[in-house]
């Protein structure tokens, strides 16, 4: 077993990165080389804008290369709950944004001819407890009426035909969801941006940000300082660097994943014959899917801690046990890869994008970033380029989280609360 992400270990290295010192100036500097920043950079470069992307590590190697491989429609919050908090019309608008986001990824894959096993095979949300079934039925009826006319509710033999496990009591299929190889997609997105004229600098963490006279910005790094007319920050949880304003508004949350050795066709038939993306209904639940080479990718918030080698190893043991409990037919399948990642969560689990103190930003993907990061990266690039009315999140309040000044000291208490909610439901 390797303590490495499957997506990153099974892609080639990005060969289009720039070497040497930074140029003295650019029209736009994008900070962060995940899907959000790469999508924005591609859009800007396609418009002929002089854009430089700065990435602290390797492109698409943080949350973008350390997730469960789902590209699902639907927001992180249940639509019915979202309607209760925001109103039905606003909830439908958010849902449509995530539909548009999956479409945007598919279009990008096609336009740039990215070899990443993209397939629209749908998502199943699974009722993990008998007490969740009635609530899921109500949610399914509401969603089918409002936003998902092709939604299918499954029980009994129909559910078993999709997922062979006695741990689930019902499910609802949302057919618009997709999946792909995250590492190869991220690599393809970076190569596309560079091909269109962007300058991408890996291993270039930003150390300072200074606003200059005339509205320009000085972006400092160990490879020099670059001046830009505009800066777009796409750093996810912003754990390092001069991003304190964003850090106080997002919660870094660890999520952990294992990937098995390739399954036999018999093992696939005995576990996941439907081959869809699956998520469970618990607050501390699991998400899983099969890869193109028949590995089971099985993840969840196995620990309320940030990712590091020790946490990843402990979480991997928990997930391996949970995988065997959910799918006894896979109990003896070796685990090939174990890894963790850090996602940026907002308190309402809705993303944020806008402008603060002359700096543009797009953060807070809250576990649904694979699809939405690509769309909002494009929309914020268009905003930076001078278009108006294209940011779907413009004007949404983004308040600091009380008591949160940086390190997430409260994560164990969040875990205790979620475990209580799962016990009670």
DSSP string for 204-268 = --EEEEEEPGGG-EEEEETTEEEEEEEEEE--TT--SSS-HHHHTT-EEEEEEEEEESPPPHHHH
Tokens of 187: 């690599």
Q: How far apart are CA 41 and CA 38, in angstroms?
A: 5
Q: Which of 42-56, 238-252, 302-316 has the lowest mean pLDDT?
A: 302-316
Tokens of 32: 């962060």
- Better pLDDT: 244 or 405: 244
Tell whether the model's pLDDT for residue 32 goes beyond 90.
yes
In the prediction, which pLDDT does 417 show? 60
pLDDT band at 302 (very low <50, low <70, confident <90, very high): low
- Rounded average pLDDT over 210-232: 96
Instruction: Report the helix count and the strand count for the chain, using DSSP H and E.
Output: 12, 18
In the prediction, which pLDDT does 49 show? 98
Tell whether the model's pLDDT for residue 364 goes beyond 70.
yes
- Report CA torsion sign: 3, 9, 14, 20: positive
In the prediction, which pLDDT does 239 show? 87
The CATH number of 6-416 is which of 3.40.50.1360, 1.10.260.40, 2.60.40.10, 3.50.50.60?
3.50.50.60
pLDDT band at 41 (very low <50, low <70, confident <90, very high): very high
Q: What is the largest CA-CA distance in the chain?
A: 68
pLDDT tens digits, residue range 130-164? 999 999 999 999 999 999 999 999 999 999 999 99
Q: Hey, is 280 helix, strand or coil?
A: strand
Tokens 């912003």 belong to residue: 238
In the prediction, which pLDDT does 407 show? 72
In the prediction, which pLDDT does 175 show? 95
In the prediction, which pLDDT does 421 show? 66
Beta-carbon neighbour count of residue 244 at 10 Å? 12
- Crossing angle between the packed helical segments 88-112 and 369-384, to the nearest 10 degrees: 90
pLDDT band at 419 (very low <50, low <70, confident <90, very high): low
- Rounded average pLDDT over 64-77: 92
pLDDT band at 303 (very low <50, low <70, confident <90, very high): low
- Rounded average pLDDT over 239-265: 94
Percentage of the chain modeled with pLDDT above 90: 84
Q: How far apart are CA 256 and CA 287, in angstroms?
A: 10
Residue 38 contacts residue 59 (beta carbons within 8 Å): yes
- Rounded average pLDDT over 203-228: 96
pLDDT band at 169 (very low <50, low <70, confident <90, very high): very high
Q: Hey, is 66 helix, strand or coil?
A: coil
pLDDT band at 127 (very low <50, low <70, confident <90, very high): very high
Nearest to 178 by CA among 292, 342, 344, 301: 292
Residue 161 contacts residue 273 (beta carbons within 8 Å): yes
CA dihedral 264, 265, 268, 270 (to 10 degrees): -100
What residues does each domain of the chain span?
6-416
pLDDT band at 304 (very low <50, low <70, confident <90, very high): low
pLDDT band at 403 (very low <50, low <70, confident <90, very high): confident
pLDDT tens digits, residue range 84-115? 999 999 999 999 999 999 999 999 999 999 99
In the prediction, which pLDDT does 350 show? 94
Nearest to 297 by CA among 7, 2, 3: 7
Tokens of 108: 């990008």
- The neighbouring-strand residues paired with 337 are 2, 259
Tokens of 8: 């990153």
Q: How, if at all, do strands 152-154 and 359-363 pair? A: unpaired
Round the average pLDDT of the chain to a whole number and report it. Answer: 93
Tokens of 304: 């309320």
Tell whether the model's pLDDT for residue 411 goes beyond 90.
no
Tell whether the model's pLDDT for residue 354 goes beyond 90.
yes
Tokens of 384: 């930076």
Q: How far apart are CA 324 and CA 77, in angstroms?
A: 28
Tell whether the model's pLDDT for residue 405 goes beyond 90.
no
- The neighbouring-strand residues paired with 26 are 228
DSSP 211: E
């Amino acid at each position: 077993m390797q303590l490495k992400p499957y997506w990153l270990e099974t892609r080639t290295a990005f060969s289009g990165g720039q070497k040497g010192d930074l140029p003295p100036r650019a029209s736009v500097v994008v900070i962060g080389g995940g899907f959000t920043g790469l999508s924005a950079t591609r859009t800007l470069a396609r418009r002929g804008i002089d854009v430089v992307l700065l990435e602290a590590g390797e492109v698409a190697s943080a949350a973008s290369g350390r997730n469960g491989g789902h590209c699902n429609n639907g927001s992180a919050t249940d639509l019915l709950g979202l309607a209760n908090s925001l109103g039905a019309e606003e909830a439908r608008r958010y849902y449509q944004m995530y539909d548009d986001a999956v479409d945007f990824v598919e279009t990008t894959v096609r336009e740039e001819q990215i070899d990443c096993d993209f397939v629209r095979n749908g998502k199943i949300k699974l009722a993990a407890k008998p007490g969740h079934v009635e609530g899921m039925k109500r949610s399914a009826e509401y969603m089918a009426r409002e936003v998902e006319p092709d939604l299918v509710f499954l029980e009994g033999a129909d559910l078993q035909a999709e997922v062979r496990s006695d741990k689930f009591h019902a499910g609802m299929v949302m057919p618009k969801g997709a999946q792909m190889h995250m590492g190869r997609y991220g690599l393809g997105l970076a190569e596309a941006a560079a091909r269109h004229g962007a300058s991408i600098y890996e291993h270039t963490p930003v150390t300072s940000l200074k606003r200059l006279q005339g509205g320009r910005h000085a972006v400092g790094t160990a490879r020099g300082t670059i001046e830009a007319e505009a800066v777009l920050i796409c750093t996810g949880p912003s754990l390092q660097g001069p991003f304190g304003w964003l850090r106080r508004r997002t919660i870094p949350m660890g999520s952990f994943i294992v990937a098995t050795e390739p399954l036999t066709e018999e093992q696939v038939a005995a576990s996941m014959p439907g081959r869809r993306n699956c998520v469970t209904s618990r607050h501390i639940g699991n998400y899983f899917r099969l890869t193109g080479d028949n590995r089971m990718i099985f993840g969840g918030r196995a620990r309320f801690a940030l990712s590091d080698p020790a946490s990843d190893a402990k979480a991997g043991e928990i997930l391996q046990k949970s995988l065997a409990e959910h799918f006894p037919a896979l109990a003896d399948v070796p685990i090939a890869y174990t890894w963790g990642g850090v996602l940026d969560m907002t308190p309402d689990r809705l993303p944020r994008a806008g402008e603060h103190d002359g700096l543009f930003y797009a953060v807070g993907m809250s576990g649904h970033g694979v699809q939405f990061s690509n769309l909002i990266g494009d929309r914020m690039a268009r905003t930076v380029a001078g278009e108006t009315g294209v940011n779907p999140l413009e004007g949404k309040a983004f308040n600091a989280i009380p008591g949160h000044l940086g390190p997430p000291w409260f994560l164990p208490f969040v875990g205790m609360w979620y475990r209580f909610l799962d016990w009670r439901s």
